[in-house]
Amino acid sequence: MSSQEIPEETLPAGQDTAHGAVKVADDPFADPGLPPHKPRIQDIDERAARRSERAVAFMFTLSMLATVGFIASYVIFPVDKIVFIWPFGHVSALNFALGLTLGAALFFIGAGAVHWARTLMSDVEVADERHPMQATPEVKAKVMADFAAGAAESGMGRRKLIRNTMFGALALVPLSGIVLLRDMGPLPEKKLRSTLWAKGLQLINMNTNEPLRPEDVAVGSLTFAMPEGLSEHDEHFQTEIAKAALMIVRIQPEDIKDKRELEWSHEGIVAFSKICTHVGCPISLYEQQTHHVLCPCHQSTFDLSDGARVIFGPAGHRLPQLRIGVNDKGFLEALGDFDEPVGPAFWERG
C-alpha cells in the first residue's frame, strides 16, 4: 500500500457490497455470480446413469460379501494360527482375515455412498444466506431490560447480606472436595531419601539371584544387583526396585579418577544407582573402554570412572554411589544406604 493518505479506519472498505452477483459493468474484477451448472454424463445419458447405479449396487454387494467373509473367518480360523503372508511376514491369520473383511465391508459402504452422491445425486450448487451472529439492537435492549427486571426482583443488589453470605457459601463448599483428595496418597516426608540398602546387606545378582563374589564381577561387564531379602514376589517389589536397582562394574583401581569413588569401591568394583538422575529411567548401556554409561531414554551419559559425573545429556547431577565391601563369607555387601536420594531431582532434595 504505497503513498496513500492514511485513513482513520484502516480496514478494507466495502466488505458488504458484493453480495450475490452485483455485476458492475465497468469493473472487470466484479463477481460474475455462480457459474452455470455443467451437467454430468449421468445427467444427460440414462445409460451412464444406469452404469453408475450398477457400480454403487456392486460396491454395496461387495460389502455384504465381506461381512459374510468376516463371520466365516471368525468361525474358521483358530485364534492362535500364525501364517506367513508376503510382505507382512508372520501374522495372525484370524487378525488378518477379520481386519481385511471388516475393512472391506466398511469401506465399500462408504465408497458406494460417495459414488452415489457424486454421480447420481444432484450436483447443482445452491447458495444460502448467512446471518450475523450478533443480535439486533432491539433484541439486545429487550434482554438487558429483562435482566435488569430479574436482577431487581431477586433483590441481589439491595440485600447485600444475602448476596455476600451466598458468595461465601459457594466459595467454601468446594473445599470439601479438595479435602477429600487428601487420601490420594501419603505425604512425601523423607520417603525419597532412602532405599532398601543398609549396612550388611549382600548384593544379589539380578540374573542368578545369588549373592555376588568379587571374582564374579569381570572387567568390562555390567552387572545388575538388588539388596538381599528382596524378592520379585514381594508386594512392594516394583516400588522398592525402582529405587534400589544397582549396577556394578569393575574398573582398574588406577583408572578411577575420583578419590571418593575409589574409597567406596572394593578392588576396583564400584556400585552405582541404576536409576538415572534425569527423570528416572534405568540406565542400561555400558561402554567398556571408556566406562561411560548411557541412559537409553534421554541419552544422559555418565562417566563411571570419574564419580559418575554427567558428561552429556539432560541429567543434572551424578549418579549416587553405594559404598561396598566384602563380608566374612567373601560376598559383596553394602556398607550403608546411598548417601543421597537416588533418581530424579526434586525440590526438597537439596
Of residues 152-191, those binding another protein (CB under 8 A): 181, 184-188, 191
How do beta strands 332-334 and 223-227 pair?
unpaired
Answer for the pair 268, 248: CB distance below 8 angstroms, yes or no. Answer: no
* Cα–Cα distance measured from residue 291 to residue 303, given in angstroms and rounded to the nearest whole number: 6
Which regions of 153-308 does DSSP assign to beta strands (E)?
203-205, 223-227, 246-250, 269-273, 285-287, 292-294, 301-303
**Cell match 512425601: residue?**
188
- Report helix angle 93-119 to 46-76, nearest 10: 160
Using CB under 8 A as the binding rule, whether residue 49 contacts another protein is answered as no
Question: Nearest approach, Cβ of 125 to another protein (angstroms)?
Answer: 5
Interface segment toward another protein; rule CB under 8 A; list 153-161, 166-174, 196-204, 307-315: 307-315
> Are the C-beta atoms of 267 and 286 separated by less than 8 Å?
no
Give the interface size with another protein as a residue count (CB under 8 A): 114
Tell me which stretch binds another protein (CB under 8 A): 15-23, 38-46, 136-144, 145-153.
Answer: 15-23
Cα R_g (the chain), whole angstroms: 38
- C-beta of 206 vs 326, nearer to another protein: 206
Q: Which of 45, 146, 215, 232 binds another protein (CB under 8 A)?
A: 232
Task: Note if the bond before 341 is cis, omega within 30 degrees.
Answer: no
**Residue 107 beta carbon to another protein: minimum distance, rounded to whole angstroms:** 3
What is the contact mask toward another protein in residues 233 to 252, using x (rule: CB under 8 A)? x-x-xxx-xxx-x-------
The residue range among 143-151, 171-179, 208-216, 278-286 that interacts with another protein, by the rule CB under 8 A, is 278-286
Q: Which is nearer to another protein, 269 or 294 (CB)?
A: 294
Look at the block and give the residue holding cell 529411567: 281
Q: Among residues 80 and 153, whose Cβ is nearest to another protein? A: 80
**Which one of the spans 167-175, 257-265, 305-313, 322-330 is the region binding another protein (CB under 8 A)?**
305-313
Residues 89-128 close enough to bind another protein by CB under 8 A: 91-92, 94-100, 102-114, 116-118, 121-123, 125-128
Which of 61, 168, 285, 330 is in the footprint of another protein by CB under 8 A?
Answer: 285
CA distance 188 to 184: 12
Kindly identify the residues of this chain, within the stretch 186-225, that bind another protein according to CB under 8 A: 186-188, 191-192, 206, 224
Q: Which of 219, 285 has the CB closer to another protein?
A: 285
Q: According to the binding rule CB under 8 A, does residue 135 interact with another protein?
A: no
Nearest to 211 by CA among 195, 192, 230, 225: 225
Q: Site for another protein (CB under 8 A): which residue of 42, 197, 227, 274?
A: 274
Q: What is the DSSP letter of 35?
A: P
Alpha helices in 266-348 (DSSP H): none
Read off φ and ψ for residue 82, nearest 5 degrees: -110, 130
